A = this chain, B = another copy of it.
Amino acid sequence: MSFELPVFSPPDFDLPGLKNAPDAVLSTVTRDGVAPDGYHATSIYPEYFRIDGQWKLATQSRMDATPVWENGEVRIREFRLLRTGDRVICGRTEDGSEGIYVHQNGFRRESSVPETFAFRSRRSRETAFSRDYDQLYDLLRYERSHGHILWVLGPAFTFDHDARDAFSALVEGGYCHGLLAGNALATHDLEAAWLGTALGQDIYTQRNHPNGHYNHLDTINRVRRHGGIEAFIRQEDVKDGIMRSVVRCGIPYVLCGSIRDDGPLPEVIPDVYEAQDRMREHARQATTVICMATMLHTIAIGNMTPSYNVLADGTVRPVYFYCVDISEFAVNKLSDRGSLSSRGIVTNVQDFIVNLARGLGLV
Residue ranges of A at the interface with B (Cβ–Cβ < 8 Å)? 31, 33-35, 39, 41, 64, 79-80, 92, 115, 117-120, 122, 124-131, 133, 156, 159-163, 198-206, 208, 211-214, 217, 220-221, 224-225, 256-264, 270-276, 279, 293, 296-297, 299-300, 303, 326-329, 332, 336-338, 346-348, 350-352, 354-355, 358
Q: CA separation between A297 and B258, bound complex, in Å? A: 9
Contact of A263 with B217 at beta-carbon distance under 8 Å, contacts A130-B161, A131-B206, A258-B296 already known: no
- Per a CB cutoff under 8 Å, which of B80, B259, B272 touches A297? B259
Q: Would you list 10 pairs from A and B whose C-beta atoms are within 8 A, ordered by A residue?
A: A79-B220, A117-B211, A127-B206, A213-B338, A259-B300, A261-B272, A270-B271, A326-B346, A326-B347, A327-B329
Q: Is the CB of A200 within 8 A of B119?
A: yes
A329 to B338 CA separation, bound complex (whole angstroms)? 21
A351 x B358 contact (CB < 8 A): no
- Pick the residue among B31, B221, B293 that contacts A225 (CB under 8 A): B31
Query: Contact partner of A224 among B34, B212, B296, CB < 8 A?
Result: B34
Q: How far is the CA of A18 from the CA of B258 in the complex (A)?
A: 40
The 9 closest A-B pairs by CB, nearest first: A347-B348, A351-B351, A130-B162, A130-B161, A128-B160, A259-B300, A126-B156, A257-B272, A260-B300
Whether A217 lies near B351 (C-beta < 8 A) is no
Contact between B279 and A259, CB atoms less than 8 A apart:
yes
Residues of B within 8 A of A293 (CB): 125
- Taking a contact as CB atoms closer than 8 A, the residue among B118, B211, B258, B347 that contacts A272 in the complex is B258
- Whether A92 and B211, one on each chain, are in contact in the complex, defined by CB atoms closer than 8 angstroms, is yes
Known: A217-B64, A346-B326, A352-B351. A262 touches B303 (CB 8 A): yes
A31-B225, A257-B273 as given contacts; A128 in contact with B201, CB under 8 Å: yes
**CB-nearest residue of chain B to A125:** B326
On whether the beta carbons of B348 and A125 are closer than 8 Å, the reply is yes
Q: Is the beta-carbon distance between B203 and A128 smaller than 8 angstroms?
A: yes
Measured in the bound complex, the distance between the Cα atoms of B297 and A258 in whole Å is: 9
Given A221-B39, A336-B124, decide whether A258 and B260 contact each other with a Cβ distance below 8 A.
no
With known contacts A217-B79, A256-B259, A204–B120 Cβ distance under 8 A: no
Task: Say which residue of B119, B130, B276 sits within 8 Å of A213 (CB atoms).
Answer: B119
Instruction: Report Cα–Cα, A127/B201, bound state, in Å.
Output: 10
Contact A79 to B263, CB < 8 A, known contacts A41-B214, A117-B213: yes
Closest to A276 in B: B259
CB nearest to A160 among chain B residues: B128
Q: Beyond A117-B211, A128-B198: 6 further Cβ-contacts under 8 Å? A: A80-B263, A92-B214, A117-B208, A130-B161, A261-B276, A354-B355
Which residues of the partner chain B approach A211 to less than 8 Å between Cβ atoms? Answer: 92, 117
User: How many Å lie between the Cα of A268 and that of B174 in the bound state?
Assistant: 39
A34 CB contact (under 8 Å) in B115, B225, B346: B225
